[in-house]
Structure 1
């Protein structure tokens, strides 16, 4: 299966259209509708909308027994002001596709065009346009949707572009490729007082002064070791922005990160115990919430071998360099129901980094990503 020059022109224009109209996690209603409209003429055998929020699944079925192979992209953008200066820059102030999900979605659109022209010889292909990757809500919403059990993929594959890696090269390995992480929100409650008589209140100031430096000390920073753990304080606030009131409330936010899921439970327990001890020492009530929870992304060896074969057959250089990464990815949840693997496609050694305001997805990656996925599908399904 191949893409024509006309395909690539249209796909590139569409990617740039998506780039201009970003929607952040759990808000991707228009983006999802745009995917359905753009790919309607590929005549999928089944379209599932509203999956896990605004997710869309398009199924191309051979009508013959065989494997179910899922390819996944993400629909959501980020809350970042774009400073790329490209003609197709975001038209939505404060929101932009600074992670390249517009490009990943276009790679799946390229696959849809190919399967629209020729179905797999056996089994079925599922193109999963997933919402809310950035917040960690998307994959859990998809796999918990009852219709996902109807789809029942045997294999699941995904990719992510990766600045800092030579253009068009791939990074791939079996085992952990992305860390587990979660956001921890610690609330400390005391009692306000007039700032002239702070002794009549209970201020959280001494507590957060202890908590912020001690949380990172729970980490073990040897990243090459499976026992790697990391705590990064990302935000803190205390009281109101006034001079006349001594504070009675504070929050400390931190991201917790481990290479293994089992170690995350231990790190959470240690952080919770530290927060409780410090709160008690200073006469404060406290509460803890968790947000943006990501399990570790662990590539299944069998799925990795299918990707390696496709890369070699397509003549694409690949290695295990730069893996695993500290960053998180919610694709890890798919491994609970399918043999899954993600690879990382080089965006260029000097390309602006992900989540930077001057980033833009390199359009020339579209046919490369599509070639790899198409080859995997051909090898598995014929």
Structure 2
């Protein structure tokens, strides 16, 4: 990639970095992406996919497989800590997961495909909404326009702090854990703080639930039986001294390597909540949100990426264990040969979702190059 081209894509990345929008609210981001893609003369440009999703389609001269390259539009509801001139202009919002860099890489592919269409098949550059909540991929797939772009092969990446810039990590099989947020609502009866015996307090239930949930999933090795329960929020009554509480909430994230183990963990956590509430005389409501299925890499798609990374001059580490964090990209694997790779964003880089995280522009050529080589290998 020439310095001039990298500078152009870096300017795009910085412009996107300044306008982070949370899942489901990516209107400005989608408009900027669509404007850039129009300049690259796609054969078709779809907008409004599953919300604010955007897809640029490039047609080959002959019939062939359909290849989807997917990146993400959304930022995070976290205040960015940065003195960069391109820091976020949206208070309380930040591109602190590197999705702005992912978009710049896929925008580079639009430039390449505009200059030279694939020999066969069809390439779809998909800018997906709402990855951070786990709702975006499912919404795109449910969109009436999705059959036009449904893939035979699907590829994606995520940048990975702790790995040298431009280095690739890749695994076959389990790639990202399943996870979901569990919201437990406990309802009793308030009373005056001077007469707690006249109410039904959830305090005892919370005291039992917090250690009980953690005991159901204490982590361990990332094998088929791996289970982790992380307590993320707890609230008891109102912030006052005069009322004995009558309601409470406990939030926890459940995490497993496999979907089957997730089903077992959900059953166990729900049963625990039911038993505790019955013993304490409380009403119980359980809700789930931020639902991510396990993400698995298809071996044929993995081999395409490994070959592409070598052609792009990027060293590859083959790994046996998946990442603990989750990805909704796995939704696309249900009807396609799909794989995600991890691209190093620096050995001293802050962790993803940290307020001082910033995607390294030097990684743009590597990611774009790997994707392009994968496309050329499959479609010419």
TM-score band by shorter chain is: over 0.9
How many Å apart are 1:298 and its aligned residue? Answer: 0.3
Is it true that 1:271 corresponds to 2:298 in the alignment?
no
User: Which residue matches 2:73?
Assistant: 75
How many Å apart are 1:38 and its aligned residue? Answer: 1.3
Q: State the superposition RMSD in angstroms.
A: 1.0
Distance in 1 (alpha carbons) for counterparts of 2:219 and 2:235: 27
Conservation of the 8 A alpha-carbon contact between 1:85 and 1:358: no
User: Which residue matches 1:221?
Assistant: 219
User: Which residue matches 2:245?
Assistant: 247
User: Which residue matches 2:190?
Assistant: 192
The gaps in structure 2 that reach 5 residues or longer are none
Distance in 1 (alpha carbons) for counterparts of 2:129 and 2:113: 22
User: Which residue matches 1:237?
Assistant: 235
Which of 186, 207, 210 is matched with 1:212 structurally? 210
User: Which residue matches 2:106?
Assistant: 108
How many Å apart are 1:217 and its aligned residue? Answer: 0.4
Distance in 1 (alpha carbons) for counterparts of 2:106 and 2:254: 32
User: Which residue matches 1:63?
Assistant: 61
Distance in 1 (alpha carbons) for counterparts of 2:121 and 2:132: 31
TM-score, length-scaled by structure 1: 0.98
Q: Which runs of 4+ in 1 moved over 3 A?
A: none
For residues 215-269 of structure 1, give each alpha carbon's deviation from its aligned partner in whole angstroms, at most 9, with x where no partner exists: 0101152223211011111100011111100000000000000000011111000
Instruction: Map 1:358-377 to 2 at 5 A.
Output: 358-377=356-375
Instruction: Map 1:1-382 to 2 at 5 A.
Output: 3-219=1-217, 221-321=219-319, 323-382=321-380
Conservation of the 8 A alpha-carbon contact between 1:187 and 1:252: yes
TM-score, length-scaled by structure 2: 0.98
How many Å apart are 1:321 and its aligned residue? Answer: 4.1
Distance in 1 (alpha carbons) for counterparts of 2:238 and 2:293: 35
For residues 27-50 of structure 1, give each alpha carbon's deviation from its aligned partner in whole angstroms, at most 9, with x where no partner exists: 001110111111211110011111
Distance in 2 (alpha carbons) for counterparts of 1:376 and 1:42: 20
Structure 2 SS opposite 1:65: strand
The gaps in structure 1 that reach 5 residues or longer are none
Structure 1 SS opposite 2:286: strand
Moved more, 82-91 or 357-366: 82-91
For residues 347-367 of structure 1, give each alpha carbon's deviation from its aligned partner in whole angstroms, at most 9, with x where no partner exists: 111011110011100001111
Conservation of the 8 A alpha-carbon contact between 2:222 and 2:257: no
Moved more, 216-225 or 352-361: 216-225
Conservation of the 8 A alpha-carbon contact between 1:161 and 1:346: yes
How many Å apart are 1:87 and its aligned residue? Answer: 1.6
Conservation of the 8 A alpha-carbon contact between 1:220 and 1:227: no
Distance in 2 (alpha carbons) for counterparts of 1:69 and 1:4: 26
Moved more, 338-347 or 312-321: 312-321
Distance in 1 (alpha carbons) for counterparts of 2:356 and 2:132: 18
Distance in 2 (alpha carbons) for counterparts of 1:33 and 1:123: 27
